[in-house]
Amino acid sequence: MSDLYSKIISCGSYLPEKVLTNHDLAEIVDTSHDWIYERTGIVQRHIAAENESSVDMAYNASLKAMSLAELRPDDIDMIIVATATPERKFPSTAVLLQNSLKIEKAFAFDVNAACTGFVYALDVADKYIQTKIAKNILIVGTEKMSSLLDWKDRNTCVLFGDGAGAIILSESNKQGILSTSIGSNGAYKDLLTVNIDSEFIEMKGNDVFKIAVKTMGKLAMSTLQKNNIDIDEIDWLIPHQANSRIINAIAKKISLPREKIVLTVDRHGNTSAASIPLAFDDAYHNGSLREGDLIMLEAFGAGFTWGSALLKF
């Protein structure tokens, strides 16, 4: 077996200053804190300033991850940004980030797999390390979901938030990423979408909910089987943070105690591709993640797309 691994060596995150609570939302649409909290587990979300873009948020998160890893711009040889809310149609958010960070020798590109984007990016990055094309990869999930929200539509505007999370994935001879798995099915394209001629998110929430629970439950089981490990061996599940009811239903399906789940949806809302790296950074900085911990990441999003990763911290 190869002793070359890719390993997460650092993380960083950024949340915009403005906090919008459920009570604040109840002032602008026909909703209530109780409805939002009971249906989603969300209490508040951060909202970017008008002149603050997904690139700006990615920049702030990336600086922190690079500083924690003690890496200089020249040490980064590849940048992948997962986003569905780019600052421009082109160039990519990754290229704009490269410029802000003054990283000269890297190549940079975006992936768009909606809420699964970060796991897709991790899957790709791992392969670039395994094939020795890159040694230090900056991976960022960044989203300005507020730019896609109709503040008159209570079905969607209460669910999402803005922010960015970054990690550095580096070549290592210690175990890191053990496996990744990604999938998609475009037959569900209309259940969660922003059409090209529309400004706003449209979602059939109920259908998304049911398919998300079913797909992520199955995916978690197949990830365990593929790696020949038992659920008891998992130290942490860091799932995409869309709805605490979805997360709890998955935990129940796979018999994982709730204490082993990293949960940030209460404070961040659904930040799409940023949600997993934001949750990862939160858990790292509050001391939950320890060296050697076995961690499962899991995401589900528009497409539908889905993905999981199993890793040693």
Active-site residue (options: 11, 60, 157, 240): 240
Contact region for ligand UT7 (CB under 6 A) — 10-18, 50-58, 60-68, 201-209? 201-209
d(CA 96, CA 88) in angstroms, rounded, equals: 9
d(CA 83, CA 151) in angstroms, rounded, equals: 21
Side-chain-facing half-sphere of 170: CA atoms under 13 Å: 16
Q: What residue ranges in 115-205 does DSSP mark as E strands?
A: 136-144, 162-172, 177-184, 192-193, 202-203
In the set 33, 39, 135, 214, which binds ligand UT7 (CB under 6 A)? 39
d(CA 54, CA 85) in angstroms, rounded, equals: 7
Contact region for ligand UT7 (CB under 6 A) — 80-88, 207-215, 219-227, 254-262? 207-215
Q: What is the DSSP letter of 270?
A: B
Nearest distance, CB of residue 208 and ligand UT7, angstroms: 4
d(CA 8, CA 165) in angstroms, rounded, equals: 13
Query: Binding residues for ligand UT7, how many (CB under 6 A)?
Result: 21
Nearest distance, CB of residue 39 and ligand UT7, angstroms: 4
d(CA 237, CA 259) in angstroms, rounded, equals: 10
- Which x/- pattern, by CB under 6 A, does the window 40-69 give for ligand UT7? x-----------------------------
The tokens describing 288, both together, are 């939950």
Question: Which one, 137 or 302, has the nearer CB to ligand UT7?
Answer: 302
What's at 241, amino acid-wise?
A: Q
d(CA 290, CA 267) in angstroms, rounded, equals: 23
- Which x/- pattern, by CB under 6 A, does the window 239-278 give for ligand UT7? ---xx--x-----------------------x--------
Active-site residue (options: 22, 112, 115, 243): 115
238 touches ligand UT7 by CB under 6 A: no
| Residue 11 falls in the annotated catalytic set | no
Nearest distance, CB of residue 51 and ligand UT7, angstroms: 26
d(CA 58, CA 164) in angstroms, rounded, equals: 5
The tokens describing 231, both together, are 């659920």
| Residue 157 falls in the annotated catalytic set | no
Taking the chain, what is the end-to-end CA distance rounded to the nearest angstrom? 20
In the set 205, 253, 285, 294, which binds ligand UT7 (CB under 6 A)? 205
Question: Which one, 36 or 134, has the nearer CB to ligand UT7?
Answer: 36
In the set 269, 301, 303, 307, which binds ligand UT7 (CB under 6 A)? 301
Q: Any idea which residue has 């059409």 for tokens?
A: 195
Binding site for ligand UT7 (CB under 6 A): 31, 35-36, 39-40, 115, 154-155, 158, 192, 205-206, 208-209, 212, 242-243, 246, 270, 300-301
Show which residues are catalytic.
Answer: 115, 240, 270
